[in-house]
Amino acid sequence: LRCLLPLQSWVSDFVGPSQPFLQTTTHANSSGSPPKLSIFCNQNPVPPLPTCAIKYPTLSQRTIFFASKPSTTYTKHTHPPPTMSSTRERRIAKELGDLQNDPNSGVNAHLVDNNLLHLKGVFPGPPDTPYAGGTFQVDIVIPDNYPFKSPIMKFDTKIWHPNVSSVTGAICLDTLGSGWSPVGTIKMALISLRMLLESPNPKDPQDAEVAKMMLDHPEQFAQKAHEWAVKYAGAPRRDTPVHNYQKVAPPPPRADDPARYQGYNKDLIDRFVHMGFDLDAVVEAFNFVGIDRNGGEDYVLEEAYMGDITARLLGEQ
């Protein structure tokens, strides 16, 4: 009977606990021979058979031998174990149900051709952005190893955005790459995309042309982003699209940037820098005193010039 318990457990998992698929009864034998088991399949008795007729389920298949008549002839039934795809599809179905029950999330998704592994996500453009009032659709493909790998998403709706390809709709977003976690959901990914429309990141672009426009000409970027939202996403047209983008100032030059030396020889300037003076202040003092650049070559300054430069740096001139 012990060898049958795993089989009973598996059958219960396979057909559901509510269905009396398999029942067993042990028959004692006074002759000392091994006990026999009676199996009832769907409440219909099957003639007794010895325990050796029951094969354990394996990882690759579930095998059951049922007696077809009161003899040693048995019928073999093999069932594949529940596959990963079935688990994956059950999870997707649950996630879609959660989306339907949460209208406040601002995002939604539906099946394509009743296929749980291919969906379309939909969300509105965020307010106070060039995308406001538009409706954006995203194609979603569920990979084989979901949720351990992120869903594969791309924009169906054309959009002018630094983190989305203006040609293919491919997306650059950590949540859909290295930042994905198995606890993530389709709803979470769609919300992240909507937030990406609120806060573009031109420093980590998918589309370099769009990113450059946003960094160098934010007003022009906002206008074009709005025009695309009107044309492709059905957004209402506004004369001046609302945005909070600002031109990004170039980073300050590094200490070893040749431009900071303004044509003077680096070693010549650094003699004063090594005395504790600021590099830019030293260059300003050289210009004030009128020190010759000597074609960028190093040379020894006259003592009078050294005194004038030092006085300037100390605020005495």
Q: What is the DSSP string of 103-137?
A: GGGS-EEEEETTEEEEEEEEEEPPTTSTTTT-EEE
Q: Is residue 46 scored above 70 in pLDDT?
A: no
Question: For residue 177, what pLDDT is reported?
Answer: 87
> Residues 216-220: what's their mean pLDDT?
92
Of the candidates 214, 215, 143, 156, the one whose C-alpha atom is nearest the C-alpha of residue 184 is 143
Helices then strands (H, E): number in the chain?
8, 9
Q: Is residue 299 scored above 80 in pLDDT?
A: yes
Question: For residue 246, what pLDDT is reported?
Answer: 66
> Residues 145-162: what's their mean pLDDT?
95
Out of 26-35, 129-138, 144-153, 225-234, least confident range = 26-35
172 among known catalytic residues: yes
Q: Is residue 208 scored above 90 in pLDDT?
A: yes
> Residues 241-265: what's their mean pLDDT?
74
Compare 306 and 113 and report the one with higher pLDDT.
113
CA distances from 51 to 33, 37, 67 (A): 12, 7, 12
Of the candidates 42, 52, 47, the one whose C-alpha atom is nearest the C-alpha of residue 27 is 47
Question: For residue 26, what pLDDT is reported?
Answer: 44
Question: For residue 97, what pLDDT is reported?
Answer: 92
Q: Is residue 78 scored above 50 in pLDDT?
A: no
Please answer whether residues 142 and 91 qualify as being in contact, where contact means their C-beta atoms are separated by less than 8 angstroms: no
Q: Is residue 179 scored above 80 in pLDDT?
A: yes
CA distances from 79 to 52, 61, 82 (A): 19, 6, 9
Count the Cβ atoms, other than its own, within 10 Å of residue 289: 18
> Residues 156-167: what's their mean pLDDT?
97
Q: Is residue 63 scored above 80 in pLDDT?
A: no
What does the pLDDT look like over 110-146, one tens digit per residue?
999 999 999 999 999 999 999 999 999 999 999 999 9
- List Cβ neighbours of 116 (8 Å cut-off, separation of 6 or more): 89, 92, 93, 142
Question: For residue 249, what pLDDT is reported?
Answer: 58
Q: Is residue 84 scored above 70 in pLDDT?
A: no
Count the Cβ atoms, other than its own, within 10 Å of residue 227: 15
Question: For residue 110, what pLDDT is reported?
Answer: 94
Global pTM reads: 0.54
Confidence of residue 287 (pLDDT cuts 50, 70, 90): very high
Question: For residue 85, what pLDDT is reported?
Answer: 54
Distance of CA 218 to the CA centre of its chain: 27
Among candidate residues 3, 41, 52, 172, the one labeled active-site is 172
Question: For residue 252, what pLDDT is reported?
Answer: 62
Q: Is residue 13 scored above 60 in pLDDT?
A: no
Q: Is residue 316 scored above 60 in pLDDT?
A: yes
Out of 204-208, 286-290, 308-312, least confident range = 308-312
